[in-house]
Amino acid sequence: MNPGLTRSLNKIIAGVCAGLAKWLDWDVTLIRVLYVLISVASAGFPGVLVYLILWVSLPVETTEN
User: Helix, strand or coil for residue 60?
Assistant: strand
pTM over 0.85: no
Residue 65: its pLDDT value, please?
47
Angstrom distance (rounded) from CA 25 to CA 39: 21
Tens digit of pLDDT at every position of the chain (65 positions): 456 888 888 788 888 999 999 999 999 999 999 999 988 888 878 888 989 999 999 888 887 64
Angstrom distance (rounded) from CA 19 to CA 42: 22
Residue 3: its pLDDT value, please?
65
Closest to 22 in 3D by CA, of 36, 4, 49, 47? 4
Angstrom distance (rounded) from CA 42 to CA 21: 21
Residue 26: its pLDDT value, please?
93
Please report, for the chain, the start and end positions of each structural domain, with discontinuous segments joined by +: 16-57
Residue 61 and residue 7 in contact, taking contact as beta carbons nearer than 8 Å: yes
